[in-house]
């Protein structure tokens, strides 16, 4: 818990220094980029990111307001919708990665050897 607090605080400091939006936005944008067609259903994003449903609903609102994603109707089910990443969203994700990647490297990568990183990942995987 403490380790993640420290690491997260450092990464978020880097984000703020670069004038980027909250770190949490990255996860959603990333999942969308990964997904085929650059779109996912909200409940799919929820499952991938572990965001609570009501938090995701409002996070999507914010992303829409910033023009990073848009909502589209999901025809096969009137309750559903698509969340589609926009071009601006893709650009933003890349811009965020330019800070995020080096930040992870600096605050995590640089403190571990390759073998240690693998070990750590394996151990943490047991907790999921």
What minimum distance in Å lies between the beta carbon of 117 and DNA?
A: 26
Whether the CA torsion 80, 59, 9, 92 is positive or negative: it is: positive
What minimum distance in Å lies between the beta carbon of 31 and DNA?
A: 13
Binds a second copy (CB under 8 A): choice among 5, 75, 77, 114: 5
Alpha carbon 55 to chain centroid distance? 14
**Burial class, 30, CB count within 10 angstroms (exposed 0-12 / middle 13-18 / buried 19+):** middle
110 binds, among a second copy, DNA, none (CB under 5 to 8 A by kind): none
Q: Does 76 contact a second copy by CB under 8 A?
A: no
Nearer to DNA, 62 or 90 (CB): 62
Q: Does 112 contact a second copy by CB under 8 A?
A: yes
Whether the CA torsion 39, 121, 9, 55 is positive or negative: it is: positive
What minimum distance in Å lies between the beta carbon of 107 and DNA?
A: 17
What minimum distance in Å lies between the beta carbon of 58 and DNA?
A: 5
| Residues numbered 20-39 forming contacts with DNA, rule: CB under 7 A | 22, 24
Residues that bind a second copy (CB under 8 A): 1-9, 50, 107-108, 111-112, 116, 119-120, 123-128
């Amino acid at each position: 818990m403490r380790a993640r607090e420290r690491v997260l605080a450092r990464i978020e400091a880097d984000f703020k220094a670069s004038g980027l939006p909250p770190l949490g936005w990255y996860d959603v944008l990333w999942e969308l980029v990964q997904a085929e067609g650059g779109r996912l259903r909200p409940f799919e994003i929820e499952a991938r990111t572990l965001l609570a449903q009501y938090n995701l609903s409002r996070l999507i609102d914010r992303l829409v307001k910033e023009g990073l994603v848009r909502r589209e109707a999901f025809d096969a089910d009137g309750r559903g919708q698509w969340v589609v990443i926009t071009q601006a969203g893709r650009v933003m994700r890349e811009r965020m990665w330019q800070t995020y990647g080096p930040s992870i490297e600096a605050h995590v990568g640089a403190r571990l050897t390759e073998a240690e990183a693998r070990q750590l990942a394996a151990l943490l995987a047991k907790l999921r």
